[in-house]
Structure 1
Amino acid sequence: MKIVVVSDSHGRNDILKTIQEKHPNAKLFIHCGDLEDDPMYYPGYIIVRGNNDYFGRFENERIIPIGKHQIYVTHSHRFSYFLRSEQLVNRAKELNCDIVCFGHTHVSFLDRVDGVTLVNPGSLSHSRDGKPCSYAILDINEDDIQVEFKFEPEW
């Protein structure tokens, strides 16, 4: 199953439609927070609250079942800067999740820790690591989780 994961669009939400058009075969679109708009205008996305989201109704975290996998979605601003990965893994395990999608840092990131896959798609609007803006594509099947980052130098 193809899943597109984005984060930190910070009002550049025209990009969200562009991404949907680029990936018409994706089964799911996830936004990990800092939309800075009302999520009701983006019905194709599952969206969680970021630290800059004040418009409309958001949930702070979501759990999405995908076959035998479960995805924990959070913005991650409520987790410690220095212990973020460890705390995200612990929270995922509390919720019986084996995949974590998170944002906030504006840096694309992939790691696998103690059976949990951690994915930060980076930022759609303000990359903080010198790379172009980015998002992630997860390809999930029963036995495997593949992650690919898409870098967009210009929107």
Structure 2
Amino acid sequence: MSDLKILVISDSHGNNENIRKAIEIEKPFDILVHCGDIEGSLETVTEGADYEVKAVRGNCDGSDLPIEEEFKAGFFNVWVTHGDRYNAKYDEDLLNIKQAATNKHADIVFFGHSHFAEIVKDTESGITFVNPGSIGNPRSSAEKSTYAVVNVTDDYEIIAQMKELPDA
């Protein structure tokens, strides 16, 4: 097994150009995760990709995507959800999503919906929560498009970083 690099995006709302920019900046990576509210197709930006693509349905998407996704990243169980079903936009303590993640035995949770970027390493549960913010429609104070990069190492480490797209 070797270290894995995961590019995590959410809430692109049809802005495929910003997805392309993040992909170009972060290549090479192993997995692209989209946490929902794509409002279009990821195929136009991922066609012929040399990485895995995992995507879930957001509240603004049609029904062709799964509501949730679970997979292994190295030694870790990853759970992906948009977050709307767990009130992620208004639950500052993430209580609903933490409970669901615990029930799913998740080590890492990727979610979106709020458009606010955050990384929370919950000391009680040991779960790492990553909301990459919005790559297409930011609501942060700086109004920057954000995404996350998560490295999973062979040394059982989860290294999560929040990044901003540079201005065009």
Do the two structures share a fold, i.e. TM-score over 0.5?
Answer: yes
Checking the alignment, whether the CA contact within 8 Å between 1:108 and 1:120 is kept in structure 2 is yes
Residue in 2 that maps onto 1:72: 79
Amino acid at match of 1:151: E
Answering whether residue 30 of structure 2 is matched by residue 27 of structure 1, we say: yes
Q: Which of 59, 65, 71 is 1:51 aligned to?
A: 59
Answering whether residue 153 of structure 2 is matched by residue 145 of structure 1, we say: no
Shift of 1:70: 1.0
- Looking at secondary structure, tell me which structure has more strand per residue: 1
Greater shift, 99-108 or 11-20, is seen at 11-20
Residue in 2 that maps onto 1:122: 133
Checking the alignment, whether the CA contact within 8 Å between 1:39 and 1:58 is kept in structure 2 is no
Shift of 1:94: 1.4
CA deviation digits over 1:98-127, x for unaligned, max 9? 100000000001111221100000101222
Shift of 1:38: 3.3
Normalising by structure 2, we get a TM-score of 0.84
CA distance in 2, matches of 1:110, 1:16: 20
CA distance in 2, matches of 1:28, 1:124: 17
Runs of at least 5 residues in structure 2 that lack an aligned partner in the other structure: none
Amino acid at match of 1:57: D
Runs of at least 5 residues in structure 1 that lack an aligned partner in the other structure: none
